[in-house]
Amino acid sequence: MMRKIIVSNFVSLDGYFAGPGDDLSWHNVNDEFFAYAEEMLNSADTMLFGRITYEMMKAYWTMESVKISDPVIAGKMNSLPKIVFSKTLDKVDWENSTLIKDDIEEKMTQFKSDSGKDMVILGSGSIVSAFTQMGIIDEYRIFINPVILGGGKLHFTGYIDRKNLTLTDVKRFKTGLVMLNYQPK
C-alpha cells in the first residue's frame, strides 16, 4: 500500500492561510485541536515543508519554552523526519531534515512507494500548490477558521488545473473551527 501525502492546513473563511505580515494569531486552537494534532502526527512519519514554513517551524518548535509547555507535540515535531523543498537553501540543520532542490515529482513519487506511514504538509502554500498541480496529494484536511482576514497569503497560488475533490469527512470543533477532509476524484 502506498503512503499518502496529506495537507493539513488552516485557512480563513476568505481563503488565506497566513494573514498580512505572515500573521498566524488568528488560528483558532485549543486542547481539542491539539488532540487531533497529536493523533495526526502519530499517523505520519514524515513532514514536508517549503523553506518559509520550515524556518518558522524550526524557530518555534526548537524553543526550550515550547518543549516544556507542549512536550508531546514538540517532541514529534523535532524528531520526525522532515523533507524541505527549496532552491535557495544550501543546507537544513533541524533534526532529521533533508533538503530537496530538484526532481521533486520524481522523488516524491518514490517516497510515496516506499514503506512507512503517511507524509504531512503543514503550511507551505507553494508546496501545496505545486503538489496539487502535480496531482500527488492524496488528502486535503482544511481547517476553516471563523475569521475573515481580508488579505494575506492565499492557500493556493500560481496556475493549477481544475481539480475535482470528494468530501470524505467533516469535523466541528467547539471553537468554531471546522475540518473538511477532501480526496481527489
The answer to whether 86 and 99 are in contact (CB under 8 A) is yes
pLDDT value of position 183 = 97
Question: What's the predicted TM-score (pTM) here?
Answer: 0.92
pLDDT digits 0-9 by tens, 134-169: 999 999 999 999 999 999 999 888 888 999 999 999
| CA quadruple 117, 118, 119, 123: dihedral, nearest 10 | -140
Quote the pLDDT of residue 49.
96
pLDDT in tens, 89-103: 999 999 999 999 999
Rounded distance between C-alpha atoms, residue 138 and residue 119, angstroms: 10
Whether the per-residue pLDDT at 1 is higher than 80: the answer is no
* pLDDT for residue 104: 92
Which domains does the chain carry? Answer: 7-184 (3.40.430.10)
Q: Is 55 buried (19+), middle (13-18) or exposed (0-12) by CB count in 10 A?
A: middle
- Per residue in 52-91, pLDDT tens? 999 999 999 999 999 999 999 999 999 999 999 999 999 9
